[in-house]
């Protein structure tokens, strides 16, 4: 009865379906996705208060080796390294998610508007803005935002969002310019649809695959930047993060204690490589240029 | 249009970029930035002392006057005195810039050459185990944090837990008489260079491989192969030459980032007195004259790089010059 309806829905559904099929057959991609889900699971557990809550508790057991009580031993002031690593996972995920979502939304919006208004003053000023932001040294920009926001706890996230959107905006802008020359946009214009409606209903859905890829790339960039910024004293101020653990561990290392360093850098490496593998698989599955 | 006219036109075109960068960073760092009046005053300052310091810092002037003073400083390259170190900012930078260049250039060149060589090998053996091995290593390299790489190289090469071959930190490349000492230079530059190369090769190899593969898929390569050109000739004479545009873009645009961002972590970690360490100290201390100078000069560097990249494009692709006239 609704045979005709399914037939009509086929073409748009088909691309995503095929991408999904390819993604499932990509073993490394599945491995990456599993790692990411595992870290997400750890993070949700911390949010729900199931584990990693006693990360700041000190004890009299300094620099202990791994044991059943302390899976990865303790640090110089007797804190449980495993709990700290787990709680820091949550911090890293929060940074990554917040920055990836906000920066890719901002990038899509600006990129779509710039591409839509190609060759107007609006496009050139948005391109100018992207050029300006890309030319400011990243660390200085983060420090400047932190100054300007007077110790606001999300100033590091804010700075990353304000820097990382430009890449997405450029990609989306290029795609929108390409789409704008296609017949289906022309016919939408001819039918008298408003520009906003064309943008939201016809252009954004056609760049959504790029948006997914871009946000995974931003997620990785945000997590890696957080570590370096926190290490330099420009990032996470209160609480714990992998970068702060590594900063702490540089003293431990001189005394011959490596556990803090191994846990923080190991967790960071596993999450980042998981995300990179997943992101690669997504690109292979979603980029029509690579599908042959 | 000859190249000089073109470069001049580009330079004019770069002015809005420099204005934008300086304006945004001025607003963020100086206008909304920390008020340094009391950091420079002694105990129990009188109202007169306060107003004197505020005058010295320019706080009593209007926003636009201060911004134009900054632009003037950038044009004359005279950035005044550092607030924290009793020294003109220009002198600090003059001492620091050669250090950073000596530190970063070996790693920058090696990182790119090695990556291009690996990318060529990967493309030549595309889909085979050699390609897969190279690409796996490159993903692993991309996934390790720069910070972790630096620490691991330092532990394994410069500490008693590892080989202990190189000095742990510092930059004493001159002998007691003040002469440049090549052996000392190598001993201080090796560990930072290895760390930079390790990180750069991961990202670069992937990028260059993608560029080469895209070129490889084009029709003229099939034609060249069909005509019986040797594979090595096809690779070096056709593919590599035509892939030069994206390669140049990447190399050129990473220069400003390498000079500031790359060396900031390396220099502050190894205690090397280059531009990165000067910047880092200025960030931590809120030394605005230094920060203004660094941001302003970086934006000028970006514009210069933009111009140089455009000129190089014309060398490798003569069509570009014709299109823009």
Q: Tally Cβ neighbours within 10 Å of residue B93.
A: 20
Structure confidence at residue B325 (pLDDT): 39
Residues 219-258 (A) with a CB less than 8 A from some CB of B? 224, 227-228, 231-234, 243, 246, 250, 253, 256
Tokens of A54: 């006693």
Q: Ranked by mean pLDDT, which of A137-146, A270-279, B8-17 comes out on top?
A: A270-279
Q: What's the DSSP call for residue B38?
A: G
Task: Using the predicted structure, report yes or no on whether residue B50 has a pLDDT greater than 90.
Answer: no
Structure confidence at residue A69 (pLDDT): 67
Task: Using the predicted structure, report yes or no on whether residue B17 has a pLDDT greater than 80.
Answer: yes
Task: Using the predicted structure, report yes or no on whether residue A119 has a pLDDT greater than 90.
Answer: no
Nearest CA in chain A to B303: A135
Task: Using the predicted structure, report yes or no on whether residue B214 has a pLDDT greater than 50.
Answer: yes
* Residue whose token pair is 């050109």: B229
Structure confidence at residue A70 (pLDDT): 66
- The pLDDT tens digits for A190-235 are 888 888 888 888 888 888 888 888 898 899 999 999 888 888 888 7
Structure confidence at residue A78 (pLDDT): 67
Residue B63 lies in a domain: yes
- B124 and B48, same domain (yes or no): no
- B139 and B24, same domain (yes or no): no
Structure confidence at residue B8 (pLDDT): 82
Least confident of A71-80, B133-142, B186-195, B299-308: A71-80
- The pLDDT tens digits for B238-295 are 888 888 888 888 888 888 877 776 688 888 888 888 888 998 888 888 888 888 888 8
Considering chain B, what is the average pLDDT of its residues?
Answer: 83
- B63 and B137, same domain (yes or no): no
Our CA angle for B222, B227, B233, nearest 5°, is 80
Considering chain A, what is the average pLDDT of its residues?
Answer: 82
- B169 and B273, same domain (yes or no): yes
Q: Which helix (H) or strand (E) holds B17?
A: helix B3-25
- A21 or A38: whose pLDDT is higher? A38
Q: DSSP alpha helices (H): ranges in chain A?
A: 3-25, 27-47, 81-116, 121-135, 138-148, 155-180, 183-190, 195-197, 204-231, 242-255, 259-286
Least confident of A4-18, A21-35, B34-48, B290-304: A4-18
pLDDT band at A101 (very low <50, low <70, confident <90, very high): very high
* B281 vs A291: CA distance, rounded Å: 49
Domains of chain B: total: 2
Residue B89 lies in a domain: no
Residue B275 lies in a domain: yes
Structure confidence at residue B115 (pLDDT): 93
Q: With beta carbons less than 8 A apart as the criterion, state whether A233 and B285 touch.
A: no
Q: How far is B178 from chain A (nearest CA, A)?
A: 32
Q: With beta carbons less than 8 A apart as the criterion, state whether B325 and B1 touch.
A: yes
Task: Using the predicted structure, report yes or no on whether residue B297 has a pLDDT greater than 50.
Answer: yes
pLDDT band at A1 (very low <50, low <70, confident <90, very high): very low
Residue B325 lies in a domain: no
Residue A234's nearest CA partner among A165, A162, A163, A159 is A159
Tell me the three state secondary structure of residue B168.
coil
Task: Using the predicted structure, report yes or no on whether residue A89 has a pLDDT greater than 60.
Answer: yes
Residue B317 lies in a domain: no
Q: With beta carbons less than 8 A apart as the criterion, state whether B82 and B287 touch.
A: yes
B88: left (phi over 0), alpha (psi -120 to 50) or beta: beta
* CB-based contact, A123 to chain B, within 8 Å: no
* B293 vs B54: CA distance, rounded Å: 20
Q: Which residues of A touch B161 (CB under 8 A)?
A: 253, 256
- B131 and B57, same domain (yes or no): no
- B169 and B112, same domain (yes or no): yes
Tell me the three state secondary structure of residue B44.
coil
Residue B267 lies in a domain: yes
- A90 or A18: whose pLDDT is higher? A90
The CATH H-level superfamily of A32-52+72-286 is MetI-like (1.10.3720.10)
Q: How far is A194 from chain B (nearest CA, A)?
A: 33
Report phi then psi at A114, rounded to 5: -60, -45
- B103 and B206, same domain (yes or no): yes
Residue B308 lies in a domain: no
pLDDT band at A164 (very low <50, low <70, confident <90, very high): very high
As a residue count, chain B comes to: 325
- B13 and B107, same domain (yes or no): no
Tell me the three state secondary structure of residue B271.
coil
Our CA angle for B29, A88, A233, nearest 5°, is 25
| CATH classification at residue B168 | 1.10.3720.10
pLDDT band at B323 (very low <50, low <70, confident <90, very high): very low
Structure confidence at residue A260 (pLDDT): 81
Domain span holding position B13? 3-76
Instruction: Report the Cα–Cα distance between both ends of chain B, in Å, rounded.
Output: 6
Contacts of A101 (CB under 8 A, 6+ apart): A215
Facing residue for A137 by CB, picked from B144, B159, B295: B295
Structure confidence at residue A274 (pLDDT): 92
Task: Using the predicted structure, report yes or no on whether residue B116 has a pLDDT greater than 50.
Answer: yes
Task: Tell me whether residues B161 and A256 touch, CB distance under 8 A.
Answer: yes
Task: Using the predicted structure, report yes or no on whether residue A152 has a pLDDT greater than 70.
Answer: yes
Tell me the three state secondary structure of residue B59.
coil
* A110 vs B99: CA distance, rounded Å: 40
Residue B177 lies in a domain: yes
């Amino acid at each position: 009865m609704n045979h005709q309806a399914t037939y009509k829905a086929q073409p748009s559904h088909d691309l995503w379906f095929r991408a999904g099929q390819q993604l499932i057959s990509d073993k490394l991609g599945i491995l990456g996705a599993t790692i990411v889900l595992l870290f997400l699971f750890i993070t949700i557990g911390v949010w729900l208060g199931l584990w990693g809550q006693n990360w700041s508790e000190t004890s009299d057991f300094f620099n202990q080796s791994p044991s059943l009580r302390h899976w990865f031993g303790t640090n110089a002031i007797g804190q449980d390294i495993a709990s700290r690593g787990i709680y820091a996972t949550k911090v890293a995920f929060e940074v990554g998610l917040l920055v990836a979502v906000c920066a890719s939304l901002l990038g899509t919006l600006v990129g779509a508007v710039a591409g839509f208004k190609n060759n107007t003053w609006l496009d050139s000023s948005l391109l100018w803005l992207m050029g300006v932001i890309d030319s400011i040294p990243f660390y200085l920009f983060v420090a400047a935002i932190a100054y300007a926001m007077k110790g606001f706890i999300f100033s590091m996230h804010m700075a990353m969002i304000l820097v990382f959107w430009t890449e997405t905006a450029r990609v989306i802008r290029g795609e929108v310019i390409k789409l704008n020359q296609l017949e289906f946009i022309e016919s939408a214009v001819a039918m008298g649809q408003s520009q906003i409606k064309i943008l939201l209903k016809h252009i954004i859905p056609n760049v959504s695959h790029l948006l997914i890829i871009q946000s995974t790339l931003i997620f990785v960039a945000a997590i890696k930047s957080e570590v370096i910024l926190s290490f330099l004293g420009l990032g996470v101020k209160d609480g714990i993060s992998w970068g702060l653990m590594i900063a702490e561990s540089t003293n431990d290392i001189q005394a011959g204690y490596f556990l803090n360093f191994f846990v923080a850098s190991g967790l960071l490496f596993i999450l980042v490589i998981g995300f990179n593998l997943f992101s690669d698989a997504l690109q292979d599955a979603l980029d029509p240029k690579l599908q042959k | 249009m000859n190249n000089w006219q073109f470069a001049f036109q580009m330079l004019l075109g770069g002015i809005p970029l420099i204005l934008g960068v300086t304006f945004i960073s001025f607003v963020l760092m100086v206008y909304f930035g920390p008020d340094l009046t009391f950091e420079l005053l002694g105990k129990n300052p009188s109202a007169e002392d306060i107003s004197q310091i505020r005058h010295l810092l320019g706080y009593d002037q209007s926003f636009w006057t201060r911004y134009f003073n900054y632009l003037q400083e950038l044009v004359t390259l005279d950035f005044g005195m550092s607030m924290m170190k009793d020294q003109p900012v220009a002198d600090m930078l003059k001492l620091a810039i050669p250090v950073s260049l000596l530190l970063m250039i070996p790693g920058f060149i090696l990182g790119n050459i090695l990556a291009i060589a690996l990318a060529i090998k990967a493309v030549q053996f595309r889909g085979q185990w050699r390609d897969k091995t190279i690409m796996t290593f490159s993903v692993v390299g991309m996934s390790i944090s720069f910070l972790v790489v630096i620490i691991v190289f330092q532990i394994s090469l410069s500490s008693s837990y590892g080989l202990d071959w190189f000095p742990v930190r510092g930059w004493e490349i001159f002998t007691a008489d003040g002469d440049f000492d090549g052996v000392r230079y190598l001993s201080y530059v090796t560990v930072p260079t290895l760390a930079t190369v390790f990180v750069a090769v991961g990202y670069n190899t992937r990028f260059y491989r993608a560029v080469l593969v895209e070129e490889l898929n084009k029709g003229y390569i099939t034609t060249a192969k069909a005509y019986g050109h040797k594979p090595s000739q096809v690779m070096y004479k056709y593919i590599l030459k035509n892939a030069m545009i994206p390669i140049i873009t990447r190399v050129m645009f990473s220069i400003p980032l390498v000079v500031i961002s790359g060396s900031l972590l390396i220099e502050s970690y190894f205690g090397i007195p280059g531009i990165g360490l000067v910047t880092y100290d200025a960030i931590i201390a809120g030394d605005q004259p230094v920060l203004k100078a660094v941001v302003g000069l970086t934006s000028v560097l970006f514009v210069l790089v933009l111009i140089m990249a455009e000129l190089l494009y014309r060398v490798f692709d003569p069509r570009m010059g014709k299109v823009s006239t």
